[in-house]
Structure formats: C-alpha cells, structure tokens
Structure 1
Amino acid sequence: MHNKPVYVETEIAADIEALWLHTQSPDLHQQWDLRFSEIAYLPKPDDEGLPQRFLYRTRIGFGLAVSGTGETKAIFHKRSGERTSTLRFGSGQQISLIKEGSGFWKYRPHGDRVTFLTQYDYETRWGAAGQWFDRIVFRPMFGYATAWSFDMLRIWLEERIPPSVSIQRAIVHYVSLTMLAVLWLYEGIVPKLLYPEYGELAMLEQLGWFTGLERIMLQLLGAGEIVIALVTVRWHRKTSIFVWQSVLLLLLPLGAILGNPTIALSPFNPLTLSLPMIALAFTTALTTRQLPQASRCLRKPNDRSVG
C-alpha cells in the first residue's frame, strides 16, 4: 500500500526574491511553517555543489518533540527565471512516524506574482499500522498543515501580517466560534428539546403568544437554534452570519422581556445569555479578516503545474 504524495500549490503576489528569502532562511521559515518548530542550518562546505544540511525539530505536545536531519539544494533556471529547491529529510527517532522522505519546492514567476508549489512523499514506520494511520490521519493533517502554512506565508508577504499575528487571530477566531456554536447547540437541544419543563416551557406560557402551542413552538425554536449552530460553523468566514445572529440575539430576549418584564429580574434571564453570545459573535466576525485558509491552495497538480 502506497499513499499519494502531498501536493500544495498557491499563487503569491510578491517578488520572487522576497519569497525565496522567507522560505530559504531558517529563522523566517520556521515562523510560518506549522510542520517545524525549529530549523537550523549546519555549517556548509566550501563546495557550492554540495547540498545544505540542516536540523529540524517539531513539538508534538506533552513535552515530546520529533527531531531529524535533512538536506536541501537550490537549482536556478536562468532562461525561465524559475527556481527549484530539492529536499531530503528523515528522523532516526522511533516515535517519528516519518522514517525518511524527499520532495521539492518550485518557484515560477509570472509578472508580479509567483506560483509557489511543493510535492513531497515519505516512508513510514510501524509496519501496516503506520501506513494505515498515515493514510487516514497523519497525511491528511500534514497536507492540511502545509496548505494552511502556505496561505499564512501568502498573507505575510501580501498583507504584511506576520505569522505570529495570524496564529493568534486564528486561535481567537476558532475558540470564539466553537463556544458560540456550542451555546447555540446547547440552547437548542437541552432546554427546548430534552427538558422544556425546567423553565423554557413556563417562560413561553407566561408570554401568552402561542396558547396551546407552546411545546410545538419550543421544538421549532430548538430546531432553529441547531440550524443556526450548523450554519455558523459552515460559513464562519462570512461576517454577515454574525451580524444577523447579533440582531436575532437582541430581538428574542427583548421580545420576551417586553411580554413579561418580570423575566428581567431573574438571575439567569435571556439577556444574561444573549449579551455574551453577541460578544462571541462580534469577536468571531472581527477575526475573519485575513484568516489563513488551506482551501485557497490547490491540492492536486494540473497541466500547468506539471509543465
């Protein structure tokens, strides 16, 4: 069983020299590439024909890190202006799924843009179990991390937003998004569909808007909140989703309070939940701008890429 090589391609509006510097300089490379925590070049012999050797290290959590060695060599195509950086890498650590591998980076300038692409493959450890784990879990995640990193590099070069800011923005965005979606799901499932007798049903009955139909309306509201959670996750990069949510989160509790003002006196009234959810919606919307996105990258070579 052999898994397909990882392929990622993007287009960056930048000078090829700037792109080359940000990908070939270890201190810059390790800032945007999620696959590596540290990269350090080893002393290079005087012979320019020999490849540049390097050490790499990747933190995998729980105080563990995978380290390895590699070598890279630059090839300049004077006629076309293209550049290629070949790569070989490997790790002797048994905790590393990757035993050894190879690949390349290509830089294809055209006008004021550069097509930047990579393709690499590797051999795995742990026998058949390692191959299956690589196919189902590791390789898709590794490819996604490569594409996400390429887009973060694009944002750095095009928008002058450093990777550290992009990573912080992404953490805030996805944490806020997760909390917002969980709250919508919880409010839709628990108090409205599973346990309406513990407050929601009585609150709706006090309004007197749907006499005799309160339970049905509560079920519809619960289903609607579940749909909002799913729509929020699916289209979380659209700020309009969060604008409409904020309007809805204001109108629903205000309508309930106007219908029964005593609701506002309870310690856990509709506003105490709506206002924090509005804050989460605002934070999620605010961090959608220039958020790295793996799907912006091409994941399969086409005729232009191969040529």
Structure 2
Amino acid sequence: MNHKPVLEKPLRLIQITLAVLWIYQGLIPKILFHSHAEIAIWQSMGVELPLAKMAVSLSGVIEMAFGCSFLLWQRAVILHQLNIMGLAGLLGLIALTDPMQLSTAFNPVVMNIAMLVLSMLAIQLLNVSKQQA
C-alpha cells in the first residue's frame, strides 16, 4: 500500500511549523525588539554593545532565511539535519553562556527540543516517503 499521500500532510505541517518558528525567532526578539538576553550572550563573549546589537540583528536575518528554506526545499533532509545540529549547538551555547535561561518559563530547552523532534519526525517521514516511491 502506498502511504505517500497520507505522509504529505504531516510533513507539510512540520515544514510550515519550523518555518514559522524560525522566522518568528529571527524577526520578533532579534530584529524588532533586540532581546536583552540575546545581546547579553554576545557581550558575554566580549563583543561591545553596538556590535552585539548588529550581531543580534544579523542572526535574526539568518534565522529568517533558514526558516524560509523550509518552505522552499520541503523534501531536503539536509535542512533537518542542520536544524538538529544547530539547535543542539545553540542549546549548548546557552548552557555555557547563560545557564540561568535554562530555568525560566518557556526557556530554550522547551523550544529547541520541540523543534529538534519535529526535524527528527520529518526525516522519518521523508525516509518512508522515499521507500514508497
């Protein structure tokens, strides 16, 4: 039995969800509001305030572009692999630079693990879909 049509809807939902989350994370806290926590992370690495603000904005643009890539390349396993590695790396960076963030409500652990698992599910769905082809 061909399950490929059944797999397309959840896969599309995962792609759209990841795109929206990455675009939101880039636009709202980084570009529009320059999150103090994000700026503090850059400053903890020795970056001066004006440059830290620019780095936060630049990382927001990169996150938005990455989010858009989930809409453009909906069958690319490599995007999900990069997402998994990137989110794990970002979580590690937060643990090293500002471990107190890990104890707050709606902290990076919650968001990163949820997004990481979505990519793991997408890879599984893409692999099953390829086997059905």
Q: Given the two structures, how large is their TM-score scaled by the length of structure 1?
A: 0.39
What is the DSSP-based 3-state SS (H/G/I as helix, E as strand, rest coil) of the residue aligned with 2:16?
A: helix
Say whether residues 1:255 and 2:68 are aligned partners: no
What is the DSSP-based 3-state SS (H/G/I as helix, E as strand, rest coil) of the residue aligned with 2:126?
A: coil
Say whether residues 1:190 and 2:28 are aligned partners: yes
Q: Which runs of 5+ in 1 are unaligned?
A: 1-159, 292-307
Greater fraction strand = 1
1-side partners of 2:91 and 2:56: how far apart? Answer: 14
CA pair 186-246 structure 1, distance change in 2 beyond 3 A = same
2-side partners of 1:166 and 1:238: how far apart? Answer: 16
Q: 1:3-45 CA deviation, whole Å, 9 max, x = no partner?
A: xxxxxxxxxxxxxxxxxxxxxxxxxxxxxxxxxxxxxxxxxxx
**More relative contact order, 1 or 2 (CA 8 Å, 6+ apart):** 2
**1:199 Cα deviation (Å)?**
4.2
Greater fraction helix = 2
2-side partners of 1:211 and 1:250: how far apart? Answer: 26
Runs of 4 or more off by more than 6 Å in structure 1? none
Say whether residues 1:180 and 2:40 are aligned partners: no
| Structure 1 contact 237–285 (Cα < 8 Å) conserved | no
1-side partners of 2:125 and 2:100: how far apart? Answer: 37
2:47 alignment partner in structure 1: 210
Select 2:111's aligned residue among 264, 273, 277: 273
**1:252 Cα deviation (Å)?**
1.0
Instruction: Give percent identity, aligned residues only.
Output: 21
1-side partners of 2:45 and 2:36: how far apart? Answer: 18
Q: Provide the alpha-carbon RMSD of the alignment.
A: 1.9
1-side partners of 2:29 and 2:68: how far apart? Answer: 18
2:71 alignment partner in structure 1: 233
Q: Which runs of 5+ in 2 are unaligned?
A: none
Bigger Rg, which one: 1
1-side partners of 2:30 and 2:4: how far apart? Answer: 38
User: 1:1-307 counterparts in 2 under 5 A?
Assistant: 160-161=1-2, 165-197=3-35, 199-205=37-43, 207-212=44-49, 213-289=51-127, 290=129
2-side partners of 1:197 and 1:169: how far apart? Answer: 37
1-side partners of 2:89 and 2:119: how far apart? Answer: 15
